[in-house]
């Protein structure tokens, strides 16, 4: 039998423990598929006494990172998380000492992916990170390998199950954001501090990685507008449904006239479209290529089993000897992207304004829109008899340059006594 492929696991949280469990429980099938045994020979975590549902006594336990990196292994599975600190030190140390790395750490790669990719190639080793994006959806493999013959036109994705769950529950029950967020935390779908999820940062890390593979550019977390779902109201979801849409949090990157435009933002998508039916904690990635057309992948994006399964699949690839550059092309071929301004993009938009209901308000709003080349498609107004009670005016636009409609809303805010800031969301026909 071939020499075993030796793995050391750093971090025994939910995913790390899941990795060890899969390698133990599915040892026979993994050996057949890898062409040789895959063995865990070392582990490192904070607390040796914690019950993780696995027997850690059979593995060499390292108390320090230096001791851990001195293990005689072929691959380090980094399950610590975070863009800096021990996770970064662990990955850099492993690569520098000629060890392959498998990681689920999207933040680390979004911030340092280009440098780590170059370090891996210098050491003639690889970084695999299927679990970092989409969990149980093999989207990294799809982009790096299955769609390698295509020039990619766009990537549009739902990549945060917490946000998708919250928006689904709000839409189905009519409850507000704060109420559903609390429930998501109680069910374990949202962290005690949900900032990374609901403010779009988690999705931003993931779309940065997909953008790198899709377009051959260095991972970049900075050239991106990031907007989460905190300001989406139950009223927005009701209005969207009336107009024939659902609201989803998207990570988006498009090639528009040779420039890449990237964002994270809540968008309206048509009811009846396939991606609108991706509800709850599910994830989805929609990729458009020049020859393949549109490819949509759907699955569980998080959780112990889905994420650990992706990690082990990456380990099996390495044990087989499959070699592919981290981001699909050699590190030296990754370029700094020519980033476009999202304000120059052209789309249809949804607008909600909360105004005092008095004569002439709608006419003035219409005039400002017209003067800024914004053509209105539909208008919904939910009025009250009392002129002192603020009401919602909901507008959908025809195709318009984003900077034009943003300018119009700024002028409306100056001229009208708005009860809250205007709500603006893109309409995507995915």
Residues in Cβ contact with 63 at an 8 Å cutoff, skipping those fewer than 6 apart? 44
Provide DSSP, 343-400.
Answer: GG-EEEEEEEEEEE--TTHHHHHHHHHHHTT--EEEEEEE--S-TTSEEEEEEEESSE
DSSP-derived pairing of the beta strands 225-226 and 38-44: unpaired
Distance CA 185, CA 48 (A): 27
Question: Which residue has 């997909």 as its token pair?
Answer: 210
End-to-end CA distance of the chain: 49
- Characterize 319-354 residue by residue with b for buried, 16 or more Cβ atoms within 10 angstroms of its Cβ, and e for exposed: beeeeebbbbbebeebeebeebebeebebbbbbbbb
Which residue from 130, 428, 50, 74 is spatially nearest to 297, judged by alpha carbons? 130
Name the catalytic one among 141, 206, 248, 262.
206
The two tokens of residue 411 are: 């002028």
Active site (annotated) includes residue 206: yes
What's the rounded Cα separation, in Å, for the pair 129 and 310? Answer: 8
Q: How far apart are CA 228 and CA 201, in angstroms?
A: 8
Catalytic residues: 206
């Amino acid at each position: 039998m071939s020499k075993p492929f030796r793995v050391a696991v750093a971090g025994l949280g939910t995913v790390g423990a899941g990795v060890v469990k899969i390698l133990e429980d599915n040892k026979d099938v993994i050996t057949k598929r890898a062409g040789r045994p895959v063995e865990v020979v070392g582990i490192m975590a904070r607390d040796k006494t914690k019950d993780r549902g696995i027997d850690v006594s059979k593995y060499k336990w390292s108390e320090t990172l230096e001791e851990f990196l001195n293990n005689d292994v072929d691959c380090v599975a980094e399950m610590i998380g975070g863009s800096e600190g021990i996770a970064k030190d662990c990955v850099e140390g492993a690569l520098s000492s000629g060890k392959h790395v498998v990681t689920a750490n999207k933040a680390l790669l979004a911030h340092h992916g280009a440098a780590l990719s170059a370090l891996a190639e210098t050491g003639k080793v690889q970084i695999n990170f299927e679990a970092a994006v989409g969990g149980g959806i093999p989207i990294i493999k799809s982009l790096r390998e299955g769609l390698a013959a295509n020039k990619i036109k766009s990537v549009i994705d739902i990549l945060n199950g917490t946000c998708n769950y919250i928006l689904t529950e709000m839409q189905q029950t009519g409850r507000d954001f704060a109420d559903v967020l609390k429930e998501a935390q109680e069910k374990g779908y949202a962290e005690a501090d949900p900032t990374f999820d609901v403010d779009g940062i988690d999705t931003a890390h993931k779309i940065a990685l997909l953008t790198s593979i899709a377009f051959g550019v260095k991972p970049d977390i900075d050239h991106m507008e990031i907007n989460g779902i905190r300001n989406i109201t139950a009223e927005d979801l009701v209005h969207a449904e009336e107009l024939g849409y659902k609201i989803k949090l998207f990570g988006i990157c498009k090639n528009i006239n040779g420039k890449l435009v990237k964002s994270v933002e809540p968008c309206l998508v048509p009811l009846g479209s396939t991606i609108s039916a991706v509800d709850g904690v599910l994830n989805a990635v929609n990729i458009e290529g020049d020859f393949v057309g549109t490819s949509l992948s759907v699955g569980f994006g998080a959780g112990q089993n889905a994420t650990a399964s992706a990690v082990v699949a990456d380990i099996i690839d390495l044990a087989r000897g499959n070699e592919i550059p981290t981001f699909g092309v050699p590190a030296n071929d990754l370029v700094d992207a020519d980033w476009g301004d999202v304000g120059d993009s052209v789309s249809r938009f949804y607008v909600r304004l909360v105004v005092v209901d008095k004569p002439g308000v709608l006419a003035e709003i219409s005039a400002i829109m017209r003067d800024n080349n914004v053509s209105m498609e539909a208008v919904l107004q939910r009025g009250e008899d009392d002129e002192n009670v603020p009401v919602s005016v909901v507008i959908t636009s025809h195709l318009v340059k984003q900077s034009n409609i943003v300018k119009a809303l700024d002028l409306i805010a100056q001229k009208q006594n708005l009860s809250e800031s205007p709500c603006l969301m893109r309409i995507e026909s995915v």
